[in-house]
Amino acid sequence: MSETVQIISPVDGKVFAERQMLDGDAIDRAVSRAKAVQRDWSMVPLGERVALVGKMVDALLAMNDAIVPELASQMGRPVRYGGERRGVEERSRHMLAIAGESLAPLMRPEKDGFVRYITREPLGVVLVIAPWNYPFLTAVNSIIPALAAGNVVLLKHASQTLLAGERFAEAARMAGPPEGVFQNLVMGHAETEKLVGSGLVDHISFTGSVEGGRRIERAAAGTFASLGLELGGKDPAYVRADADLDFAAENLVDGSFFNSGQSCCGVERIYVHADAYDGFVDRFVGQARSWTLGHPLDPATVIGPMARASFADHVRRQTEEAVRSGAGRHLNWAHERDKPGSPWLAPEVLTGVNHQMSLMREESFGPVVGIMKVADDEEAIGLMNDSPYGLTASIWTADLDAAGRIGAHIETGTVFANRCDYLDPALVWTGVKDTGRGGALSEIGYHNLTQPRSFHLRRV
């Protein structure tokens, strides 16, 4: 009999849902269905595919009232934020709107006697391995453009948020694409790696840890499947002397603590010019005091428990190490549930930090942030680059030309000025160094989910 997987709610430590994992035979049948229908799906006119995928998006958005409390129970995000509807709709609608332009043939300049152009062809079977922290937003980055481009999709969702995969499957059934075009698979790590290495998958889109990415790369070795990897992050912010400190503090508190700090592009370290340091820290700590820990099903709660106790304990260890090395705590909340072995972790702000502390160099993925004084732009750039990761970096300044100059020297996938923790679907979402490879969203997202084909036609 197949094994089962349980969703243990961080809210009360109880089993929220339990599902049976697919065995090898069931996975083989799913892949066979996908491969059997892929060519026919790719031959459906683009406009019809886009319309069908749009119906899938409509159906998913219509479920939001039920999805919001499910998310709170599965991974702890407070219901006050309304789930992920706004971002899902923005990204999905944009990617569908640009499908025609992004997938249109590229006509080459006229050459006497020849017709030359490049088309974008679907890769085939796309495996999306989605994470728990933003279980809908991260998944639509690949699912929507992959389907629109003529690929078929197999979704393997994180065990913490299995119900998100079921919601996608339900939306697909309601939209009505041919059977096998989209399938939700409940699999364990071993079966997932076996599928990745089978040679039956043409592209793998993985969002998760660096070690998880390495396992995917090892499993896919020799298959020639293409990979899209979004892995770890340690996103920095730099507050210049000319920044609007009230605005910067308010937005950076949100960027640091939203979703209990469990955001791919959440702010984990802040560097502040010496001339602005004291004023910024005072404002930041003042704003942070309103981010109090509470029950995620309470509409008044702004920050809930982390998804798992082990994640919270990792942040506790980093914080305690930094304090032992001389860092100062500014919040130091006393909450009855915030104790070792519990997913309930209150936000914390640390100063007196340095890059000998793991808090400032290694991923935290929790509600803690270190703030460090710097002398100038050059020192800020050096410290921002002193990390194995590179997803986003934000610069807070009244001088956008300076932001551009500084951003050109930062090793990162996205440079923000005066904002953070946001994905613009018109821009490619990508990372450098250990954060990963490939890119999602924008027309480049379509290019990474398709194969170019050249046509060189000679008149005789």
Q: Which residues are catalytic?
A: 230, 264
Distance between CA atoms of 36 and 38, rounded to whole angstroms? 6
Give residue 286's region: left, alpha or beta (phi > 0; psi -120 to 50): alpha
Distance between CA atoms of 172 and 181, rounded to whole angstroms? 9
Question: What one-letter code names the amino acid at 179?
Answer: E
Compute the Cα dihedral for 210, 213, 218, 222 and give only its sign. negative
Compute the Cα dihedral for 277, 279, 284, 286 and give only its sign. positive
CA 277 to chain centre: 31
- Quote the tokens at residue 453: 């084909």
H/E stretch holding 171: helix 162-175
For tokens 């960027």, the residue is 255
Distance between CA atoms of 351 and 340, rounded to whole angstroms? 23
The CB-side HSE value for 275 (13 A sphere, CA atoms) comes to: 7
How does strand 450-458 pair with strand 114-122?
antiparallel
| Bridge partners of residue 432, in order along the sequence | 390
Which DSSP string corresponds to 354-417? -TTSGGGTS---SSEEEEEEESSHHHHHHHHTSSSEESEEEEE-S-HHHHHHHHTTS-SSEEEE
